[in-house]
């Protein structure tokens, strides 16, 4: 099964410690590019979260955003750091021996760094449910990408089927094109009323047909079509492989079009190029 690299999943969690929103968005990218926007309480979980994503996704830009809004009673709750307060009191005594008339303002103490804190007890109440929800969110995203990948697979196989038809028409057309090239050269010589050695004429015909010969290109084109069908049907992480095959298909179609001296052959080659470009656009979004 092939997967698209595009997907979006959002989930909300109502927890005793507050409301949590999780948004996971992916778009196409050459490699796996993970961008995390996490609240402060989840900073310690960043590596675990990154490894979780790396284990499930192989390509694409991944944007994970988690927002936490603490409940009112938690947000309003404030704790005093007794250790910092004790250190300040100890230092105050030493300072007072040198400045006996100095006074301490209560609000200045509260503004001192780390004296006032929010309770740490609620961190686990947020972290554990979020870590439990992330695998489920990833599974939902992958299911979404697989559904999109199934549509892309159908489109590519249909396009390859059309490409096979154009390949067959070119293959059937080529003997006629070759015969017409020989007839045109012979007719041109008759118009010029030129006397040409038969052996030399055959040599020129062979040289001309070699320049126009597309048999090898047609064979390679068919091989690449078959390989693309096989890769798409087998599935897996095949985006880069398919991108390479599109380059090879395009190379053969270009060569056939450049060698063509027949309008029908040229038209078929150009139609193949159009199909290749349409497939290439879809391939850019395959994992």
* Residues of the chain above pLDDT 70, percent: 72
Residue 2 counted as domain residue: no
| Nearest CA-CA partner of 221 in 189, 190, 249 | 249
Same structural domain, 131 and 28: yes
What is the number of structural domains in the chain? Answer: 3
Could you read off the pLDDT of 141-161 as tens digits, one per residue? Answer: 999 999 999 999 999 999 999
Phi-psi label, residue 96: left if phi above 0, alpha if psi -120 to 50, beta otherwise: alpha
| Closest C-alpha to 4, from 151, 139, 136, 157 | 151
Strand partners, 36: 64
CA-based nearest residue to 179, from 201, 203, 199, 208? 208
Same domain, residue pair 84 and 161? no
Among candidate residues 235, 260, 283, 243, the one with its CA nearest the CA of residue 166: 260
CB-CB neighbours of 197 under 10 Å: 8
Percent of the chain with pLDDT over 90: 52
The length of the chain, given as a count of residues: 287
Helices and strands: H and E segment counts in the chain: 9, 6
Average confidence score pLDDT of the chain? 83
Report residue 271 as tokens: 């139609």
Shared domain check, 270 and 231: yes
Question: Would the pLDDT of 192 be above 70?
Answer: no
Dump pLDDT digits (tens) for 91-138.
Answer: 767 766 666 666 666 666 666 676 666 555 456 677 888 899 999 999
Do residues 131 and 211 both lie within one domain?
A: no
- Given a cut of 80, whether residue 200 has pLDDT beyond it is no
Contact of 15 with 39, CB cutoff 8 Å: no
CA distances for 54 relative to 40, 48, 49, 57, 162, angstroms: 22, 10, 9, 5, 37
Domain containing 96 equals: 78-117
Query: Do both 175 and 219 map to the same domain?
Result: yes
Give tens-digit pLDDT for 15-72.
876 789 999 999 999 999 999 999 887 888 899 999 999 999 999 999 999 998 766 5
Q: Give residue 41's pLDDT.
A: 78
Q: Which residues contact 126 (CB under 8 A, 6 or more apart)?
A: 15, 17, 18, 20, 41, 42, 68
Q: Is 160 in contact with 225 (CB distance < 8 Å)?
A: yes
* Predicted confidence (pLDDT) at residue 218 exceeds the cutoff of 90: yes
Both 185 and 166 in one domain: the answer is yes
The encoded tokens of residue 105 equal 């303002």
pLDDT of residue 176: 81
- 275 shares a domain with 160: yes
Considering the domain architecture, whether residues 43 and 172 belong to the same structural domain is answered as no
User: How many whole angstroms from its chain centre is CA 193?
Assistant: 64
Query: CA-to-CA distance for 140 and 148, rounded, in angstroms?
Result: 13
**Same domain for 139 and 215:** no
Structure confidence at residue 79 (pLDDT): 66
How high is the pLDDT of residue 121? 45
Non-local (6+) Cβ contacts of 166 within 8 A are 268, 269, 271, 272, 275
| 59 and 91, same domain (yes or no) | no
């Amino acid at each position: 099964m092939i997967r698209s690299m595009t997907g979006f999943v959002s989930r909300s969690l109502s927890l005793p410690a507050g409301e949590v929103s999780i948004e996971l968005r992916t778009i196409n990218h050459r490699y796996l590019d993970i961008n995390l926007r996490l609240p402060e309480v989840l900073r310690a979980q960043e590596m675990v979260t990154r490894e979780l994503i790396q284990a499930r996704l192989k390509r694409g830009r991944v944007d994970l955003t988690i927002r936490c809004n603490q409940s009112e009673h938690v947000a309003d709750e404030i704790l005093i750091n007794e250790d910092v307060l004790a250190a300040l009191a100890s230092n105050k005594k030493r300072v007072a021996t040198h400045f006996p008339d100095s006074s301490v303002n209560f609000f200045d103490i509260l503004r001192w760094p780390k004296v006032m804190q929010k309770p740490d007890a609620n961190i686990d109440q947020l972290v554990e449910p979020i870590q439990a929800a992330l695998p489920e969110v990833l599974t939902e995203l992958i299911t979404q990408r697989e559904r999109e990948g199934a549509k892309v697979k159908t489109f590519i196989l249909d396009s390859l089927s059309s490409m096979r038809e154009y390949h067959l028409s070119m293959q059937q057309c080529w003997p006629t094109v070759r015969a017409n090239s020989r007839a045109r050269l012979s007719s041109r010589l008759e118009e010029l009323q030129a006397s040409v050695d038969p052996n030399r004429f055959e040599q020129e015909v062979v040289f001309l047909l070699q320049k126009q010969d597309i048999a090898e290109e047609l064979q390679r084109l068919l091989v690449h079509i078959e390989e693309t069908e096989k890769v798409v049907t087998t599935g897996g992480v095949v985006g880069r492989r398919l991108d390479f095959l599109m380059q090879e298909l395009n190379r053969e179609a270009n060569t056939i079009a450049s060698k063509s001296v027949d309008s029908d052959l040229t038209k078929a080659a150009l139609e193949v190029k159009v199909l290749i470009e349409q497939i290439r656009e879809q391939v850019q979004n395959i994992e």
